[in-house]
Amino acid sequence: MSKEQTENKTSVPSGSPPIEVHDLTVAYDQKPVLWDIDFELPKASLTAIVGPNGAGKSTLIKAAMGLIEASSGYTLIYGKPLDKQRNRVAYVPQRESVDWNFPISVMDVVLMGRYPHLRLFQRPSRRDKEIAIKALTETGMDAYQKRQISQLSGGQQQRVFLARALAQDADIYLMDEPLAGVDAATEDVIFNKLKELRDRGKTVVVVHHDLQSVPENFDRTMLLNLRMIACGPVSEVFTDDNLQKTYGGRLNILSQMIEESRQQRFVRETDS
């Protein structure tokens, strides 16, 4: 680990949570898709982000990572700006967003997880390759390390992306629907690894679509429908009332947000 990475690991402001998002708003063509999102997540937690299609779940992950531009708001990682702590965050995108026909092997994909630990132009070392093989073994993909990723099934591809994240050995894992469309065996592998990461003190955030599996597999949940409906321990916020607000009132929430946006624009125009 480089000196800079060591300093990032150790010089953490006292009491700073692993991830904080403040006043985050994202809009496309002046239409809000996320509105004034605030939350903090503790260390050693496994959080599911749930909500209906179009609720902004993937947008939240991408905006928090700085992958898309936010209209307002910011993200802190252990009390510091994201650009100073990016090596501490691993991101797993949706499988559908990846060009799986790109000519690259499984091992090369997983070794990408080691890049944040390398200096510019430095090649992966033997130790990096050992870490990558260990990650493939943990996800049941070690026998496929020389296979082209285009030759894998959907579940196998998802395991490879999980292995890449494991190889990074980050402190925070943000995963966008890692369980979508996978077989039962792959689902078990992924859930087991997510729980293991949490038990090792990592902060894991998962965009998730299967409500029935939330109470059994997650300790925290974030209910999202353009706004933050609720965020906290599953036992406290994963309630029928909150689920109804999340999935049953989408049109009301959207209408309210658009009206507030119009009113704010009117006030700004009047004051200018």
pLDDT, tens digit (0-9, with 9 covering 90-100), for 18-60: 999 999 999 988 788 999 999 999 999 999 999 999 899 999 9
Which SS3 state, helix, strand or coil, does residue 198 take? Answer: helix
Tens digits of per-residue pLDDT, 212-248? 999 999 999 999 999 999 999 999 999 989 999 998 8
Report the alpha-carbon distance of residue 239 to residue 132 in Å, rounded.
40
What is the dihedral sign for C-alpha 111, 116, 119, 125?
negative
Q: Which phi-psi region, left, alpha or beta, contains residue 150 (left: φ > 0; alpha: ψ -120 to 50)?
A: alpha
Task: Determine what percent of the chain is predicted with pLDDT higher than 90.
Answer: 62
The contacts of residue 43 (CB under 8 Å, 6+ apart) are 17, 18, 201, 202, 203
Half-sphere exposure of 137 (CA within 13 A, CB side): 6
Element (H, E) at 78: none
pLDDT at 188 over 80: yes
For 132-160, what is the mean pLDDT?
Answer: 92
Tens digits of per-residue pLDDT, 252-265? 554 455 455 555 55
For residue 195, name the pLDDT band (cuts at 50, 70, 90): very high
Enumerate long-range contacts of 121-125, CB under 8 Å, 24 or more apart: none
Question: Do residues 19 and 205 make contact, with C-beta atoms less than 8 angstroms apart?
Answer: yes
Full domain range(s) for residue 191: 3-271
What letter does residue 38 receive in the DSSP assignment? E
Which SS3 state, helix, strand or coil, does residue 232 take? Answer: strand
For residue 116, name the pLDDT band (cuts at 50, 70, 90): confident
Tens digits of per-residue pLDDT, 66-114? 899 999 999 999 999 988 898 899 999 887 777 767 889 999 999 999 9
* CATH number of the CATH domain containing 133: 3.40.50.300
Q: Number of structural domains, the chain?
A: 1
For 186-205, what is the mean pLDDT?
Answer: 95
Q: Which residue bears the tokens 């650009």?
A: 83
The predicted structure's pLDDT at residue 272 = 54
Question: Do residues 56 and 250 make contact, with C-beta atoms less than 8 angstroms apart?
Answer: no
Report the alpha-carbon distance of residue 146 to residue 69 in Å, rounded.
36
Reference 39, options 203, 198, 167; nearest CA is 203
pTM: 0.82
pLDDT at 15 over 80: no
